[in-house]
Amino acid sequence: MRYRNNAPRHTLLALALLAAIAYAALHRPAHDPEGRGGGQPAEAPSPDHALFAENLRKPVEAALQDRYRDIDARHFAGALPDIPVHWEERLSERGKDLPSGMGLEGLWLMEDGKALILVNPRLREDEAALTRTLCHEMAHEYLFTRGDSRSSHGPPFQAVLRRLWDEKAFTGLFATDEERAELRAWLDQRKADLAQSEEAVGLARRAVDEAEGEFSALNSRIQTANERGEGWPSQEEMDRTTARRDLRVTQYNGLIESRNGAIGEFNLKAERYNLILAYPDGRDEERVAAMKDAPEPGP
Ligand SMILES: [Zn+2]
């Protein structure tokens, strides 16, 4: 029965869907809610004084510092000051109240005219996230060197990131709020469609089971007739029962196929949405939270 073979395939796709959801939860964007917004003067003492002071005394790790320099050379014409970049475990504790529960990925700090960048060590394992995070924090540094200490994640910051994205400095998807909202609406709609198609699949499955029951009852009768040498069902009944079962299996398979196609398409778009989530514009927590209610895979 071909339809039985579809079950594992469905499971795989369902897993892919779960993976997409997990991706949304795991791939938190760079974030630094250090409160530079709200027009705070850059000279104000940072609430992260301890982090700042301790890291300022540490020697830099060459490999990480080289990443900063590389991005600076490629995308800022080497014009950024060579501020220290450090791995900082404690970023995991900072921002733990964020929906991901995984803390901050990066932080740009400024105190007494000195700046540094802190990066969460879990990004050691995630090249793309490290690059995105560095780009995000370097955009802060760039704006600061241009005398802009007030824009936080506002339009000037967005413009720098957009340029970096255009230059392929980091992977991720740039999207306007409208594009993002459109995609979100599509996902919500498709989620509803998928729930409906699950119902249709359930009905079709029951129809298959029913036809299977008739088919095996017919087989029993044939077997009994074989033993007795009489009482066989008519050829017409055998043909009809077989045809009905085959038709229902075909219908079921068709539904499964289109449903799986829809799940695959949903996963692709969800992945795209997640990449937008990962776009390091510093306003992402709400979006990660928004994906929490992505559709459940079917049975
Ligand atoms: Zn930021």
Say how many Å lie between the CA of residue 108 and the centre of ligand 1. Answer: 7
Alpha carbon distances (Å) from 159 to 61, 71, 219, 243: 30, 17, 71, 63
pLDDT of residue 97: 60
Say how many Å lie between the CA of residue 269 and the centre of ligand 1. Answer: 26
For residue range 177-203, list pLDDT tens digits in order.
Answer: 778 788 889 999 999 999 999 999 999
CA distance 53 to 97: 24
How would residue 174 be classed by pLDDT, with cut points 50, 70 and 90? low
What's the one-letter identity of residue 140? Answer: H
CA end-to-end span of the chain, whole Å?
Answer: 19
Say how many Å lie between the CA of residue 36 and the centre of ligand 1. Answer: 9
Q: Is 110 helix (H, G, I), strand (E, B) or coil?
A: strand
| pTM of the predicted model over 0.95 | no
For residue range 255-267, list pLDDT tens digits in order.
Answer: 999 998 898 888 7
For residue range 273-292, list pLDDT tens digits in order.
Answer: 766 654 444 444 333 333 33
Q: Over 90: is that where the pLDDT of 239 sits?
A: yes
Identify which of 120, 154, 116, 141 has the alpha carbon closest to the alpha carbon of residue 31: 120
Per the model's pLDDT, the better-predicted residue between 182 and 85 turns out to be: 85
Q: Where are the beta strands (DSSP E) in the chain?
A: 85-87, 106-111, 114-119
Q: Where are the beta strands (DSSP E) in 19-122?
A: 85-87, 106-111, 114-119
Say how many Å lie between the CA of residue 158 and the centre of ligand 1. Answer: 10
Say how many Å lie between the CA of residue 48 and the centre of ligand 1. Answer: 14
Say how many Å lie between the CA of residue 125 and the centre of ligand 1. Answer: 21
Architecture label for domain 29-166: 2-Layer Sandwich (3.30)
Q: Domain spans of the chain?
A: 2-24+177-277+284-293, 29-166
